Chains A and B, each alone.
Chain A
Amino acid sequence: MTGMRERVADELGRMLDEDNRLVVVLAAISSSLFESSRVRHPERVIDVGIREQSLIGVAAGLAHTGLRPVVHTFAPFLLERPFEQLKMDLCHQGLGAVLISIGASYDSPEYGTSHFCPEDVALLDALPGVDVHVPGHPDEAVELLRRAVATTGTSYLRLSGASNAKPKTVPAGRQRVLRRGSRGSVIAVGPMLDPVLEAVADFDVTVIYANTLRPLDQATILESLGEPAVAMVEPCLAGTSVGLINQALAHLPHRVLGLGVGRHDLHHYGSRSEHDLAHGLDPVSLRSRISGFLGPSQ
Chain B
Amino acid sequence: MTYPLDHAATIPASAPSRPASYEDLGQLLDLISGDQKHSSASTSTLDILWVLYDRVLQVSPESVDDPDRDRFILSKGHGPAAYYAVLAAKGFISPALLSGFGSFHSPLGHHPDRLLIPGVEISSGSLGHGLAISVGIALGLRIQGRAGSRVVCLLGDGELEEGSNHEALWLAALCRLSALSVIVVDNLSSGLGWPTGVEAPFTAAGWVVERVGGHDRGELERALLRRSEAAPNLIVAATESAP
Contact = CB atoms under 8 A, between A and B. Distances in A.
Contacts of B126: 84, 88
Contacts of B146: 65
B114 A58 contact: no
A61 B143 contact: no
Given A51-B168, A51-B171, A94-B115, A89 B133 contact: yes
6 contacts: A60-B136, A61-B132, A61-B135, A62-B139, A65-B136, A65-B146
B171 A54 contact: yes
Nearest to A69: B136
Contact of B129 (A43, A62, A88, A94): A88
B136 A53 contact: no
B133 A60 contact: yes
Contacts, number: 104
A23 B144 CA distance: 11
Nearest to A60: B133
A255 interface: no
B237 to A, nearest CB: 23
Given A48-B171, A88-B126, A93-B122, A57 B144 contact: no
Interface in B120-144: 121-123, 125-126, 128-129, 131-144
A129 interface: no
B163 interface: yes
B62 interface: no
B171 A64 contact: no
Contacts of B128: 53
B216 interface: no
B168 A57 contact: yes
B164 interface: yes
Most buried by B among A51, A65, A84, A93: A65
Nearest to A43: B143
A294 interface: no
